Amino acid sequence: MEFRTVIGLEVHTQVLTETKMFCGCSAAASDVPNTHVCAVCLGMPGVLPTVNRAAVEKTVMTGLALDCTIPRFNRFDRKNYMYPDQMKGYQISQYELPMAVSGFLDVEVEGETTRVGITRVHLEEDTARLVHRSGPDGDYSLVDVNRSGVPLMEIVSDPDITSPQQARLYLVALRRILRYIGASSGNMEEGALRCDANISQRSEDGLIVGPKVEIKNMNSFRSVERALDYEIERQRAALRNGETLVQETRGWVETQGITVSQRTKEFADDYRYLPEPDLPPVEFDEAWIGMISTSMAELPVARRDRFVADFGLSFHDADVLTDDVIVADYYEQAIASSGGHYREVATWVSGELFALARNRGGFEYVTVTPEHLSEIVTMVASGEINALTGKSVLLDTAESGTAPRQIVMDQGLTQVSDASIVDDVVREIVAANPKAVEDYRSGKQAVVGFLIGQAMKQMRGRGNPDVVRQALLRTLDNT
Amino acid sequence: MIKVLTALGLVDARRLLDNREISAAELTDAHLNWIDEIDEQVKAFITPMHEQARGMAADADRAIAAGEASPMTGIPVALKDIFCTVDAPTSAASEILKGYRSPMDATVVERLRAARAVFVGKTNTDEFAMGSSTENSAFFTTHNPWDLERVPGGSSGGSSAAVAANEAMVSLGSDTGGSIRQPAGFCGVVGMKPTYGRVSRFGLIAFASSLDQIGPFSRCVEDSAMTLQAIAGHDRRDATSAPVEVPDYLEELRAGVKGLRVGIAEEFSSVEGMEPGVKEACEAAYAMFSELGAELVPVQLPNAKYALPTYYITAPAEASANLARFDGVKYGLNIESDTLLDTYLRTRGEGFGPEVKRRIMLGTYALASGYYDAYYVKAQKVRTLIKRDFDRAFEGVDVILAPTSPTVAFKIGARVDDPLQMYLSDIFTIPANMAGLPGISIPCGFSEGLPVSLQIMGPAFGESVIFRAAHAYEQATTWHKERPALLRERADTTV
């Protein structure tokens, strides 16, 4: 029997705001536990929540970026469950009337565009963080309330995803959008973005043949893909062997590469949702939604297409440059003063700057300003310096912050294209390397590169490579 | 005129304080001394605040001396022990919060503090405001100053008894289904429940968030208006507090009722168990309005009869969530056990009283999967219908009259074993809560030697017209001047 896999993803992401969802405490992470807390996010008796406007705006913006409908009315609800990470015994969330519904996200899988439906986007509050410890008197848990009340957005996909690879690419595309519009840092390792997956098997003709299994504890996009790969095989093997699969929650164990059962859903959770009486229903007017829509940053796909159309970049280059909003912004700032050298700047960004970023641990740590990069690219393009010099100037600028032109002037790095100077150098090199000249004459073209290198070395790298090559060939052929 | 300091109303006290004929310290001491003398019998206070009150009185005297007095400066106020205060414990009359210290003041407390009122103590209530007699207090029952063998009503029975027994000039209570008006009625004082959203709920330990509203107790209507004036108005810490301007409640207080259209609803004329003495007194009060020049207009509130059952779905449902935070982990009672679940079960099992548990169970049931639509959702639909009835009625009338409660104060212990009978004492007050409307209870007679009270309800944010109607009736009658016998033999400082 052949199977089809059905996957739906639930993404929780902390919304990037200054303050918490329902109080004025800082929403920033802190290494010192229980410092970003107040009576409200501690759930003390008598406190009341007030809604963070910025969180609402960013959630609506996310909905718009995912082509969702923004219903006119939405409402907060109480999701009741008692646990020590829950300060009030309930979480303020959205159940019946979320902020955004019925959208989609186009995901490119091996060159093909696939569309994944977005069921809903809603806003809620994060829980406190529990730290489990063992001591001489037994196990215990510590509660860090800093995270309690941080705005949390839940993005639920339709069960449209058919492969683990598509699931990963969906997450990549989603995170890219969230980062573009400034809704989320998208940082999965720090827990700012979390993903649960629902996965089940159907027969070829679409009949459900296996129950829905929820997978948790996946800490990277790669582990989402691996966990789903594993789970597909586990489910299919069970079905082929005639075993009964149960509806359950399973946890991904990264170190072993397996999922293990956490709890079965014999008893459905009953969260006893009720409309949050402390917060009146929210009503959006069209004009406000229009304002959010207008203020939204250009989305990745649109930006990539524009880079191709306006700057003559290849699809691949444009894709690479628009993957991260910081890079795309950097690129656009750099080309502004580059005198139209769009493709050259693209090559420098994706080559030299990415290398620099890798060394420094991230693009945000690259200290070369877009204007300085543009200066280097312009000098190289005009022949003022050669590419090799450009690269060393870039590193110098990255270290010292000195303007590239200043470095070139101070160190006399201007490219030497004057044929008479080059000819003198070449003659010296030829004279000093009779063996190489002999090899060349006997047909070994490879020695040309060696001789060019010697000449360039003599000229401290400043020689114009074309002029040097021509002078060398001329000298060799005429000697 | 010779007057006992503890018998003063706000207007007289204000004049005497501002003219420096008395000091806030003297006024406060008179009340504190009287509390020391009488509260053994009345038991209105969970936590008297002698020391704090004397400090606040000194501040008030300095403010008066500096010419910075506001209407509430130096006025002795009692607070229901369900409002958070930084300088006294806040227990909600529950074992689970016994000795709990709040890190903040409720907004109403903050406003009165800023006005330099003097807090004489925190008053008894049914646990978490759940009850109609204060018998559900985890600590003790408050006694009705008119008859110490009877209940003062509830849940804000401590606040109503304190004002009735002259232990405070005014006090604050909270009203979820009648918890200000019903005890005011039983104790023969004035109790005002404002429109939902008129007064900030921040710092009020929540019972049923969509119904709770804070309001004043006083011995006359003018004092009620002045006290509400001091606490009303939008608060950005309470998203349900209304950004509606607060009018000057004294402005039309004396405008009289001539030409006022006064609604009488048949639905409020009689219910099972209504005492004839109450019915008579209320009907006489309606007639008095007619005599004073108001026009009596019959109104229909066909869905009002569903208010009580609807309330007992809605309020417990919200309460079941509101009380979930009391888990023994963060504050209050903690009975640590081997497992987390046992800690929860034992802390809550021993920390909550039977009525609170009953309501948590009712509410949990009403919200449970499979029952939610049949109970909670249906109750909200009925609530909308009740609200519509009132909206329609107020298109034709300015206020609606009703009894406050179908009976006078009952004997302590008489209804404790019969929750349904207890719930019925709020049958006339609950409709205003379900509709979010303001209502006042004022004395309108006596039956069996106990106060009978009239309820006046108004449209949303119509507190002014309620005060106006109540004041006109009060000025035309002498019921509010009757004082409990308990007070007659006393002799504190007089002026």
List, for residues A261-289, the tens digit of each pLDDT value: 987 765 667 899 999 999 999 999 999 99
pLDDT at A142: 93
State which residues form the domain around B425.
5-264+393-487
Same domain, A272 and A383: no
Helix (H) or strand (E) holding A109: strand A100-109
Q: CATH no. for residue A441?
A: 1.10.10.410
How far apart are alpha carbons B459 and B196 in whole angstroms?
11
Lowest mean pLDDT among A326-340, B62-76, B146-160: A326-340
Catalytic site includes residue B155: yes
Asked if residue A369 and residue A272 are part of one domain, the reply reads no
Report, as an integer, the average pLDDT of B227-231.
98
Assess whether A198 and A311 both reside in one domain: no
Catalytic residue among B132, B179, B441, B453: B179
- A278–B contact, CB cutoff 8 A: yes
For the record, the structure tokens of B75 come out as 């006025």
Is there a domain that residue A64 lies in? Answer: yes
Has residue B376 been placed in a domain? no
CA-nearest residue to B204 within chain A is A46
Which residue is closest to A141 within chain B, CA to CA?
B340
Determine, for residues A277 and B84 on separate chains, whether the beta-carbon distance falls below 8 Å: no
Say whether A88 and B325 touch across the interface (CB within 8 A): yes
Please identify, among A364, A388, A411, the residue that sits at the C-terminal boundary of a domain: A411
Question: How high is the ipTM of this complex?
Answer: 0.95
Q: Is residue B472 part of a domain?
A: yes
> Does position B467 have pLDDT exceeding 70, yes or no?
yes
Are the beta carbons of A280 and B239 separated by less than 8 Å? yes
Output the six-digit token pair for A269: 């959770």
- Are the CB atoms for B211 and B180 separated by under 8 Å? no
Residue contact B239–A50, C-beta within 8 A? yes
Whether residue A174 lies inside any domain: the answer is yes
Look at residues A382, A411, A440 and tell me which one is the last residue of a structural domain. A411
| Catalytic residue, candidates B70, B94, B155, B441 | B155
Mean pLDDT of B68-76: 97
Query: Do A39 and A171 share a domain, yes or no?
Result: yes
How does pLDDT run across A178-235, given as a tens digit for each residue?
999 999 999 888 889 999 999 999 988 878 788 999 999 999 999 999 999 999 999 9
Q: Look at B324 and A50 and tell me if their CB atoms are within 8 Å.
A: no
Instruction: With CA atoms as reference, report the closest residue to A419 among A470, A360, A372.
Output: A470
The predicted structure's pLDDT at residue B170: 98
Nearest CA to CA, how far is B203 from chain A (Å)?
Answer: 4
Please report whether residue A463 resides in a domain. yes
Confirm or reject contact between A277 and chain B (CB < 8 A).
yes
Q: Closest by alpha carbon to B193, among B467, B473, B488, B485? A: B467
Distance, CA of B184 to CA of B180 (rounded, Å)? 6
Domain-embedded: residue A292: no
Active site residue B91: no
Is the per-residue pLDDT at B495 higher than 80? no
How many domains is chain B partitioned into structurally? Answer: 1
Chain A residues in contact with B203 by the CB 8 A cut-off are 46-47
Mean per-residue pLDDT, B390-411: 97
- Res A322 pLDDT > 50: yes
Task: Mark whether A283 and A226 lie in a shared domain.
Answer: yes
Per the rule left: phi > 0, alpha: psi between -120 and 50, beta: everything else, A86 is beta
Strands B213-218, B170-175: pairing is antiparallel
What is the torsion angle, in degrees rounded to the nearest 10, for the CA atoms of residue A366, residue A368, residue A373 and residue A374?
110
pLDDT at A92: 98
| Chain A hits for B241, Cβ within 8 Å | none
**Residue B77, min C-alpha distance to chain A (Å):** 20
Residues A197 and A317 in one domain: no
Q: How high is the mean pLDDT of chain B?
A: 96
Q: Which of B205, B208, B240 sits opposite A46 (nearest CB)?
A: B205
Residues A32-60 have pLDDT tens digits of 999 999 999 999 999 999 999 999 999 99
Crossing angle between the packed helical segments A419-432 and A434-441, to the nearest 10 degrees: 90
A273 vs B: CB within 8 A: yes
Instruction: Look at B324 and A280 and tell me if their CB atoms are within 8 Å.
Output: no
Provide the residue range defining the domain that includes A326: 298-411
Q: Is residue B422 predicted with pLDDT exceeding 90?
A: no
CATH of the domain at B209: 3.90.1300.10
Please state the rounded mean pLDDT for residues B328-335.
93
Express as a percent the part of chain B with pLDDT over 90. Answer: 92
Chain B residues in contact with A149 (beta carbon < 8 A):
none
Report chain A's C-alpha Rg in angstroms.
30
Residue B378, exposed/middle/buried by CB under 10 A (0-12, 13-18, 19+)?
A: middle
| B344 close to A82: Cβ distance less than 8 angstroms | yes
In a domain, B451, yes or no: yes
- Asked whether the beta carbons of A155 and A11 are under 8 A apart, the reply is yes
CA angle, A320 then A326 then A330, to 5°:
85
pLDDT tens per residue across span B250-292: 999 999 999 999 999 998 987 888 999 999 999 999 999 999 9
Of B209, B323, B369, the CB nearest to A278: B209
Q: How many CB pairs under 8 A join A and B?
A: 102
On whether the CB atoms of residues B461 and B198 are closer than 8 A, the answer is yes
The model's pTM: 0.90
Overall number of domains in chain A:
3
| Residues 8 through 47 of chain A touching chain B, CB cutoff 8 Å | 39, 42-47
**Nearest-neighbour CA in chain B from A83: distance (Å):** 9
The pLDDT value recorded for residue B1 is: 43
- Secondary structure (3-state) at A263: strand
Least confident segment among A87-91, A112-116, A378-382, B435-439? A378-382
**pLDDT digit string (tens) for B332-383?**
999 999 899 999 999 999 999 999 999 999 999 999 988 999 999 999 999 9
Tell me: do A45 and A190 sit in the same domain. Answer: yes
Burial code (b: 16+ CB inside 10 Å, e: under 16) for B78-92 equals bbbbbbbbeebebbb
Selected residue of A75, A272, A282 to mutate for chain B interface (largest B Cβ count, 10 A)? A272
Q: How confident is the model at residue A453 (pLDDT cuts 50, 70, 90)?
A: confident
The contacts of residue A372 (CB under 8 Å, 6+ apart) are A397, A403, A404
Best residue in B82, B237, B344 to probe A by mutation, most A CBs within 10 Å?
B237
Q: Which residue of A has its CA nearest to B363?
A: A272
Residues of B in contact with A42 (CB under 8 A): 330
Task: Note whether A64 and A192 are same-domain residues.
Answer: yes
Query: Are residues A100 and A148 both part of a single domain?
Result: yes
Could you tell me what percentage of chain A is helix, strand and coil, using 3-state DSSP and rounding each to the nearest 5? 40, 25, 35
Check CB contact of A449 with chain B, cutoff 8 Å: no
Does residue B305 sit within a domain? Answer: no
Q: Which of A287, A306, A331 delimits the end of a domain?
A: A287
Of B320, B329, B376, the CB nearest to A84: B329
Is residue A324 domain-shared with residue A249, that is, in the same domain?
no
pLDDT, position A145: 96
Same domain assignment for residues A91 and A164: yes
Tell me the nearest-neighbour CA distance from B220 into chain A, angstroms.
Answer: 29
Chain B residues with a Cβ under 8 Å from any Cβ in chain A: 83-84, 90, 92, 97, 100, 102-104, 106, 201-206, 208-210, 236-240, 317-318, 320-321, 323-327, 329-331, 340, 344, 364, 367-369, 372, 376
- Given B80, B137, B224, B405, the catalytic residue: B80
Q: Is residue B322 part of a domain?
A: no
B80 as an active site residue: the answer is yes
Residue B349 covered by a domain = no
- Is there a single domain that holds both residue A102 and residue A236? yes
Structural element, H or E, at residue B465: helix B463-476
> Which residues on chain A are in Cβ contact (under 8 Å) with B348?
none
B254 in any annotated domain: yes
Is the Cβ pair B92, A45 closer than 8 Å?
yes
**Quick check: is A293 in a domain?**
no
* Residue B358 forms part of a structural domain: no
Q: Is residue A211 part of a domain?
A: yes
Looking at chain B, the whole-number percentage of residues with pLDDT higher than 70 is 98
